[in-house]
Structures are given as C-alpha cells and as structure tokens.
C-alpha cells in the first residue's frame, strides 16, 4: 500500500504543478530533491512571483525511521517505527480576489520491533481561504468535494465537511481560517471499508482537486483590486500564519520529526500584516467575510 500510494502522489504532483504553471502563465515551479538523515526524503516544488501565484508549493515526501518520543507519547506507543508519505500543497495568489487553497493527502504506517504493521491509516483533505467571499465560488468548491465523496458514501461529505470546519478553527480568534472543504484523519480498516477502499476514496478526492480550484482562479485572476483590498488580504494572511504555527498538526508533526524546515514552512505567505485591533467597516464585504468565518455555512 505504501508503494502504491507514493507512486500515486508522485504522479499527482506532476499533474497539479503542470496545470498550475499553465494557469499562471509566467512563473515555473522550482524543484528541490532532499533527503532526511533519519530516513526518507522528498521532492519540493515551489513557485514564486508569478502572474497569478505570489507563492505556492506542491510537495511530496516519504519518511521513515524510529518514531520520536514526543510522537510515541502522542500515539500512546513505545519503541515504534513509522513510515509516512503524502502530498501537501498551498497556493497564495497575488490578487486578493483569488482565494488561497490548501490540500493534503497522506498515508501512515506504524511497526513493531519485528517490522510488522501494527497500525495504518489515510488522512487528508482540502480547504479554501478567500479574502473576498463569492458565494458561487464557495458553492462550486464544496460541490466538487461533495460529488467526490458521494461516489463512495453519502455520509462522507457531511461528516468530513464538519470535521474540516472544526479542524481549521482559529480557537484563539474564535473564527474559521477559511470556508472549509474536507478534512479526514485516521481512516482505518473497518467491517465495511478495507484499506483498498480508503485508498480509492482518498485518490478520488486528490483527483478532484484541480476541478474544485482552477475554475475559480480562472474566473477571478483578471479582476482589478485596490491597495486597501491588498492590505485586507495581508491582514487575513496573518490569521493563516497563526493557524499554521499554533494549531496545525501537520506542521507540528514535521517539526517534531526533524522534517525539512523549508518544506514545512513553505505554506507561509510572503507578505503579511498584523494590524493592532483591526476591525473592518460596518456593512462592508470584509465584515461579511468575518460573519461567515464566525459561523460556518452549509454551502451545498
């Protein structure tokens, strides 16, 4: 399974970076191949200063070795070894009219001292972070998520949409990071779902990603915007940074397993503002966004 899924994310990285380069029309992804001293490595691809994307990355990794003590305590195990692979992406557009997007699809195995698999699961999801809210864009993104989920089980979309709203919640701000999407973790073998079934589900979600995001970018990328709108984007990006550094499990896992720091922090936007006690004007589009972020909506 680990070889099968790693092959899949290698191919998916190629598909996604090729399409996003085409959408940008100017910048190209720069590739870094890296190795982790404790075992494994990855392929990081970053795009910067493009016509559409100010900064973005589409990274894959496959790492293995002894599970660090901090993670052993987290999982409640002792002297375990692990393997983890996944694709993680974040795209920060230059225009505040175009939303930021994040996605991650991953697979994890844990082994006993004899090398036997004692646990394995899939995780992942995708979510959208607009700076200006267009309801039809939110509906489109969620419709693609729902369609992909419904092809496997009708309970998946409502369950994983709810988990996404709960996970991407900036508790210290009492607001969502964005308008959500899907989030799932520890998808394990059950009486009704084999690991192959979960593989089929996660790859369906991965394959749907470009259909959910690219039409929104194409629709919004030529829109004009003001300096005030750009300032608002940078203020909201600050909330994005806060979530990633304070709450995000993937960031924390990477930091605790001696992950490659440049790849881990690739998700951070290049230009950000923290303005003291900032509040948007009453009745503005900026205020409308905050109202939605404080109470997640059912988009489809």
Evaluate whether residue 298 is within a structural domain.
no
For residues 233 and 158, what is the distance between their CA atoms, to the nearest angstrom?
29
What per-residue confidence (pLDDT) applies to 19? 98
Evaluate whether residue 233 is within a structural domain.
yes
Cβ atoms of residues 158 and 145 within 8 Å: no
Evaluate whether residue 176 is within a structural domain.
yes
Helix (H, G, I), strand (E, B) or coil at 95: coil
Evaluate whether residue 171 is within a structural domain.
yes
Evaluate whether residue 299 is within a structural domain.
no
Name the residue among 130, 137, 138 with its Cα closest to residue 286.
130
For residues 226 and 123, what is the distance between their CA atoms, to the nearest angstrom?
39
- In DSSP terms, which residues pair with 286 in a beta bridge? none
pLDDT, tens only, 95-147: 999 999 999 999 999 998 888 898 999 999 999 999 999 999 999 999 999 99
pLDDT, tens only, 251-261: 887 787 777 88
Question: What is the longest distance spanned by two Cα atoms in the chain?
Answer: 63
For residues 124 and 257, what is the distance between their CA atoms, to the nearest angstrom?
19
Domain containing residue 56: 2-293
pTM: 0.95
Give the CATH number of the domain where residue 168 resides: 3.40.1500.10
Q: How large is the angle between the packed helices 195-220 and 2-24, nearest 10 degrees?
A: 10
Evaluate whether residue 14 is within a structural domain.
yes
Distance of alpha carbon 86 from the chain centroid: 11
Cβ atoms of residues 46 and 57 within 8 Å: yes
Is residue 263 scored above 90 in pLDDT?
no
pLDDT, tens only, 28-65: 999 999 998 889 999 999 999 999 999 999 999 999 98
Tokens 């993670």, located at residue = 71
pLDDT, tens only, 167-182: 999 999 999 999 999 9
For the chain, how many structural domains are there in total? 1
Question: Cβ contacts of residue 282 below 8 Å, gap of 6+?
Answer: none
Name the residue among 218, 252, 220, 219 with its Cα closest to residue 233.
220
For residues 211 and 7, what is the distance between their CA atoms, to the nearest angstrom?
21
What token pair was written down for 285?
A: 């589009």
CA dihedral 52, 57, 60, 66 (to 10 degrees): -160
What per-residue confidence (pLDDT) applies to 156? 98
* Residues forming the active site: 102
- Mean pLDDT for 265-282 is 94
For residues 245 and 243, what is the distance between their CA atoms, to the nearest angstrom?
6
């Amino acid at each position: 399974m680990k070889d099968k899924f790693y092959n899949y994310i290698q191919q998916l990285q190629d598909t996604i970076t090729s399409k996003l380069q085409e959408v940008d029309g100017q910048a190209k992804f720069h590739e870094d191949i890296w190795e982790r001293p404790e075992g494994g490595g990855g392929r990081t691809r970053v795009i910067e200063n493009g016509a559409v994307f100010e900064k973005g990355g589409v990274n894959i990794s496959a790492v293995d070795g002894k599970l660090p003590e901090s993670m052993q305590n987290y999982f409640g195990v002792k002297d375990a070894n692990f393997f983890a692979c996944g694709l993680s992406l974040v795209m920060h557009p230059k225009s505040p009219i175009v939303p930021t997007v994040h996605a991650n699809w991953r697979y994890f195995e844990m082994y006993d001292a004899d090398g036997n698999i004692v646990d394995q699961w899939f995780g992942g999801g995708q979510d959208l972070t607009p700076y200006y809210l267009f309801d039809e864009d939110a509906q489109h993104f969620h419709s693609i998520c729902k369609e992909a989920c419904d092809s496997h089980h009708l309970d998946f979309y409502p369950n994983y949409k709810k988990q996404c709203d709960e996970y991407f919640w900036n508790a210290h701000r009492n607001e969502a990071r964005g308008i959500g999407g899907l989030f799932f973790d520890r998808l394990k073998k059950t009486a009704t779902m084999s690991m192959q079934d979960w593989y089929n589900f996660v790859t369906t979600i991965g394959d749907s990603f470009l259909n959910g995001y690219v039409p929104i970018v194409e629709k919004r990328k030529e829109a004009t915007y003001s300096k005030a709108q750009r300032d608002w984007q940078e203020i909201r990006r600050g909330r994005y940074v806060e979530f990633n550094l304070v709450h995000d499990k993937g960031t924390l896992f990477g930091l605790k397993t001696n992950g490659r720091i440049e790849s881990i922090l690739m998700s951070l936007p290049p230009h950000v503002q923290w303005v003291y006690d900032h509040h948007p004007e009453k009745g503005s589009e900026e205020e409308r966004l905050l109202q939605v972020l404080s109470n997640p909506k059912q988009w489809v």
